Every structure is written in C-alpha cells, then in structure tokens.
Amino acid sequence: MWQPCLVTAELVSGAEIGRRLGVSREAVRKWANVSGREFPSPLGRVGRSVVWDWHTVEIWAHHHGYSVRGAA
C-alpha cells in the first residue's frame, strides 16, 4: 500500500547561494552553465527564480573548497 511521506528541501536562489558562499550571483550562474564544474541541477523555479536544494549545493561547495558564510 502506498504511504505518503514528507520530503523537505531548503530552496535557495542563485543570489542566496552567492551570499552563503561569498561569491556573486553571476558566478553561481556560470557554475550552473558549465558542465565541468558538476554543479547540482536546479529543482525548478519559484516565480522567476531558479532554485536549488541547499543541502546538495552545500555538499558541492565543500568538495570544491568553498566555505559557507551563513544561512538565511
């Protein structure tokens, strides 16, 4: 029998990723468009903003030498 479950994700925009990693929104946009960086795929859009799962981005950042400056 199918059981519903709760899945949560902390959605972040490119601007928020930039703030948390200390880089520009443009840097995040470039990471997302360069296949060699293996940047996580976005989950979708909220309004006009592309959004990512913060946990996935944070893991990527750690593996690429970026430190997190803080959360929202």
Q: Are the CB atoms for 42 and 50 separated by under 8 Å? A: yes
What pTM does this model have?
A: 0.83
Residue 70: per-residue pLDDT: 63
The string of pLDDT tens digits covering residues 26-47 is: 999 999 998 677 899 999 999 9
Task: Say which residues have a Cβ less than 8 Å from residue 47's Cβ, sequence separation at least 6.
Answer: none
Between CA 47 and CA 31 the distance in angstroms is 21
Between CA 1 and CA 29 the distance in angstroms is 42
Residue 15: per-residue pLDDT: 97
Q: Are the CB atoms for 14 and 29 separated by under 8 Å? A: yes
